């Protein structure tokens, strides 16, 4: 696995740990606050119900008392039951479907939290001395809404975490790939001049050569070193890895092919109504050199035709047909796999990036007879 992909997985994993830890802390804190408020309300209602309990014990729940209790039941979902050892249950506002003996329970600050099916209740039992009699009072409050809100909060938090993780993972992946691409391009472009410099240097060291041969090879090494420096500078600019702006100037594209005529003597150039182009000479020279090099490799000994018309160029060469799947990837700016391309698969990507930097468009077409590259600035 490539190093940048390992870094991507590490960054995404670390981010997800931090994100879901933060969401868990937020959800837990929110639930604690909601439950604390509900318990405080329960205690307040329990304190305010003392006058009702006294009336219940005195009057055994008159009609007026029952009306007050019903209002509390409906508005606050707060119930209570009064009982003593002598008469048993004196009054109860607890609904029939609420049982004091629940399936699950736990204690919290002298309160019992009772769970049955999908309902959750707060239960508090205390003993009250009224007159000479002792009464046992059961206070119950339905707190299911607090737990229901917590479940919804957990679901929404998980959904948000998953969607945000997917979105941010895509952004991080795209950015890391964008940063890594100039490194791939750099490796591809440096391979040829470094090979030549290494070969000439080894030839000079191992073999006996004449002064004329030494001078010729030294000049080649110097030229390749200069080209190497230009390649590094242009790729750093393309990858936004260096400060400064790309130097633009007005010139005719055909002027650049004068620098390439000695390298590609079989190039057949046709010019019709050419217009000046505003661009960077070094980058465009790299663009055309890369395209011509690939064209002549594919064509073998055949002639390669280049037509310049206005601000449009058309490069045509014979050779092996490029498959539709490869063409689709190349025209969309995607890297070819090793099995699809003899080299690193970066050449056309570099060309495409240079054209895009000049606000142009490049497309490639291929059939059994020829391969055609069209560039429009």
Q: What is the DSSP letter of 62?
A: -
Q: What is the per-residue pLDDT for 343?
A: 45
What is the C-alpha separation between 206 and 262, in angstroms, rounded?
A: 29
Q: What is the per-residue pLDDT for 174?
A: 82
* The pair of three-digit structure tokens given for residue 360, joined into one six-digit string: 């142009």
Q: What is the per-residue pLDDT for 338?
A: 57
Terminal Cα-to-Cα distance of the chain (whole angstroms)? 38
What would you measure as the largest C-alpha separation in the chain, in angstroms?
Answer: 129
What is the C-alpha separation between 268 and 314, in angstroms, rounded?
A: 12
Q: Cβ neighbours of residue 248 under 8 Å, at least 6 residues apart?
A: 278, 279, 280
Cβ 116 vs Cβ 33: under 8 Å: no
Q: In what order do the strands lie in the sheet with 312-317?
A: 267-272, 304-309, 312-317, 371-376, 361-366
Cβ 161 vs Cβ 38: under 8 Å: no
What is the C-alpha separation between 222 and 175, in angstroms, rounded?
A: 37
What is the C-alpha separation between 251 and 358, in angstroms, rounded?
A: 13
What is the C-alpha separation between 114 and 100, in angstroms, rounded?
A: 8
Q: What is the DSSP letter of 273?
A: S
Q: What is the per-residue pLDDT for 61?
A: 47
Cβ 31 vs Cβ 108: under 8 Å: no
Beta strands in 41-118 (DSSP E): 78-84, 88-92, 104-108, 111-116
pTM of the model: 0.46
Q: What is the per-residue pLDDT for 97?
A: 67
Per-residue pLDDT of the chain (377 residues), as tens digits, is 666 678 888 888 998 899 999 999 999 999 889 888 888 887 777 776 666 666 666 655 455 555 555 655 555 567 777 777 777 777 777 777 666 554 455 454 556 777 766 778 888 887 877 767 777 877 888 888 888 888 899 999 999 999 998 998 888 888 777 767 666 666 666 777 777 777 777 777 777 777 777 777 787 787 777 777 766 665 655 554 444 567 788 999 998 888 788 888 888 889 999 999 998 888 888 889 888 888 888 888 788 999 999 999 999 998 888 888 888 888 887 767 656 665 434 567 778 888 988 889 999 999 888 899 999 99
Cβ 12 vs Cβ 165: under 8 Å: yes
Kindly report the backbone phi and psi dihedral angles of residue 303, in degrees, each rounded to the nearest multiple of 5, phi listed first: -80, 140
Closest to 141 (Cα-Cα) out of 95, 96, 78, 97? 78
Q: What is the DSSP letter of 109?
A: T
Which domains can be identified in the chain, with CATH numbers? 3-151 (3.30.450), 249-376 (3.30.565.10)
């Amino acid at each position: 696995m490539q190093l940048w992909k390992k870094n991507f997985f590490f960054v995404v994993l670390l981010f997800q740990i931090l994100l879901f830890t933060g969401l868990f802390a937020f959800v837990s804190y929110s639930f604690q606050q909601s439950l604390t408020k509900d318990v405080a309300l329960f205690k307040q209602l329990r304190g305010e119900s003392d006058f009702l309990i006294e009336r219940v014990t005195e009057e055994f729940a008159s009609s007026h008392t029952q009306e007050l209790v019903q209002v509390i039941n409906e508005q606050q979902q707060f119930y209570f039951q009064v009982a003593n050892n002598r008469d048993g249950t004196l009054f109860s506002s607890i609904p029939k479907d609420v049982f004091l003996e629940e399936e699950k329970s736990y204690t919290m600050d002298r309160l019992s939290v009772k769970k049955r099916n999908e309902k959750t209740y707060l239960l508090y039992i205390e003993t009250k001395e009224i007159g000479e009699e002792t009464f046992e009072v059961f206070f119950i409050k339905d707190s299911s809404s607090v737990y229901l809100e917590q479940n919804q909060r957990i679901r929404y938090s998980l959904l948000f975490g998953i969607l945000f993780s997917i979105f941010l993972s895509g952004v991080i992946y795209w950015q890391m790939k964008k940063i890594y691409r100039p490194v791939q391009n750099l490796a591809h472009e440096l391979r040829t001049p470094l090979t030549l410099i290494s070969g000439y240097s080894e030839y000079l060291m191992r073999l006996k050569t004449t002064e004329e041969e030494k001078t010729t090879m030294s000049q080649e090494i110097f030229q390749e070193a200069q080209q190497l420096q230009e390649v590094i500078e242009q790729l750093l600019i393309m990858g936004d890895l260096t400060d400064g702006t790309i130097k633009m100037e007005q010139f005719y594209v055909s002027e650049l092919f004068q620098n390439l005529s000695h390298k590609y003597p079989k190039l057949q150039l046709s010019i019709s109504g050419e217009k000046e182009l505003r661009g960077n000479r070094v980058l465009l020279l790299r663009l055309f050199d890369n395209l011509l090099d690939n064209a002549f490799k594919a064509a073998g000994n055949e002639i390669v035709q280049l037509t310049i018309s206005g601000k449009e160029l058309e490069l045509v060469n014979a050779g092996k047909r490029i498959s539709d799947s490869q063409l689709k990837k190349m025209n969309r700016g995607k890297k070819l796999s090793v099995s699809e391309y003899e080299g690193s698969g970066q050449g056309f990507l570099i060309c495409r990036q240079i054209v895009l930097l000049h606000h142009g468009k490049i497309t490639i077409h291929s059939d059994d007879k020829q391969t055609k590259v069209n560039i429009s600035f």
